[in-house]
Amino acid sequence: MSGGVDSSVAAKLLAEQDYNLSAIFMRNWDTRDESGTDKGCEWEKDWQDVQQVCRTLDIPCRMIDLSREYWNRVFEPSLRLWESGVTPNPDVWCNKEIKFGALLDRLPHSESIPEEAWFATGHYARKSTGPRAKLLRAVDRHKDQTYYLSSLSEASLDRALFPIGGFTKPEVREIARKHNLVTAERPESMGLCFVGEKGKFRDFLDQYIPPKPGPIVDLLTDKTLGEHHGLWTYTIGENARISGMPMKMFVSRKDIANNRVYVVPGTDHIDLWATSIRATGWSWIWADSPPIGISQPAGTRLRAKFRHKMGDIPCTVRRRADGDVIITFDDPRKAVSPGQVVALWDADWCLGCGTIVEGKNDPPQSLDYTQDYQKANIAYTQESPNP
């Protein structure tokens, strides 16, 4: 239990059934050594709320400190990826490595809980009841969290329960109010708590990654427009905020080998779009049974997402001989970043995920790339005599 409304209601729903329940609150970030405070991660408040809800439900609870495991298995590897210029998803790896990893590993040894005990969370997701467990999207499509759970192993899924997956968020809040759970009006949690205020992500990473300056280059003219302090300070698709330019410039690529950030004018330049992606390091939830048809030349029809907050994309999926997977979108998509997790679904069934290596606009759809490039170049140099 996290101290939020979702896991409180998950516990309440299980308490109404015939389970022998025990709650665990996990602490996974320790900032006291650096700043003397836990600002941003108000874990004490969360822990108090977990205890309060457990008193209301009459179930035991305990805290487990996994901050060392989180640092070693999620944060440190993510730092190395940010430093190298790609964009990792620590929230996806936290589920695999910490909640359904370190935490599950600890339980049988630290408590008298049998191996076959269930492990329940307040995620918005469902599980099928067939002979093999399938991870299914939540009933509340806006809240569905299967993207974050797409890296789980089948063994972890076997032990998982998602009690709130059949409810909408308003229904979950209503249950919490009806049963006087102190967390009923708790606001939504906002991603990585330890980063603190929204928009301060760069400042946060600056504390951990030494600066590595390099040029910001105009893809159209090859001119240097400014300097970045490290590839991690920009994400593909974002406004590069270069002053003195006739148009807003957006990051379309990073050249990791040469430590360069490339920008293009406007939000809609063709270099910002991708028609296909290549992804590596596939983790299929049914590890022995990747999607049928994926190794055929024609591939198989599935749906993909490479960010939690995006609609899923109809696509054709093919596996290469080296195990990497090529996902070709029916319609091009913007802002594909290497390092991000891409997950696949067959209708509601989440199959697994891989890590994006590259996005390609090949062949460019809906626009003639050469013409567009020339037009943009001409228009751009006319508007900008001295870029």
Ligand X SMILES: Nc1ncnc2c1ncn2[C@@H]1O[C@H](COP(=O)(O)OP(=O)(O)OP(=O)(O)O)[C@@H](O)[C@H]1O
Nearest distance in Å: CB 174, ligand X: 14
Q: Say how far apart CA 354 and CA 88 lie, in whole Å.
A: 12
**In contact, 31 and 39? CB cutoff 8 Å:** yes
Residue 57's nearest CA partner among 108, 19, 110 is 19
Closest CA to 28 of 132, 113, 102, 130: 102
Closest CB to ligand X among residues 128, 189: 189
**Measured distance CA(303)–CA(314) in Å, rounded:** 5
Instruction: Please return the burial class of 125, using the count of CB atoms within 10 Å of its CB with bins 0-12, 13-18 and 19+.
Output: buried
* Contact residues for ligand X, defined by CB under 6 A: 1-2, 4-7, 24-26, 99, 121-123, 188-189
d(CA 371, CA 375): 6
| C-beta of 184 vs 335, nearer to ligand X | 184
Write down the catalytic residue from 94, 315, 350, 353: 94
Residue 94 among the catalytic residues: yes
Instruction: Output the smallest distance, CB 103 to ligand X, in A.
Output: 8
Least gap, CB of 382 to ligand X (angstroms): 49
* Nearer to ligand X among residue 189 and residue 371 (C-beta): 189
Q: How far is CA 229 from CA 68, 102, 265, 339, in A?
A: 29, 35, 21, 20
- The minimum distance between CB 121 and ligand X, in angstroms, equals 3
Residue among 6 and 218 whose Cβ is closer to ligand X: 6
| In the complex, least distance from residue 24 CB atom to ligand X, rounded to whole angstroms | 6
Q: Among residues 188 and 362, whose Cβ is nearest to ligand X?
A: 188
Please answer whether residues 46 and 5 qualify as being in contact, where contact means their C-beta atoms are separated by less than 8 angstroms: no
Catalytic residue numbers read: 94, 193
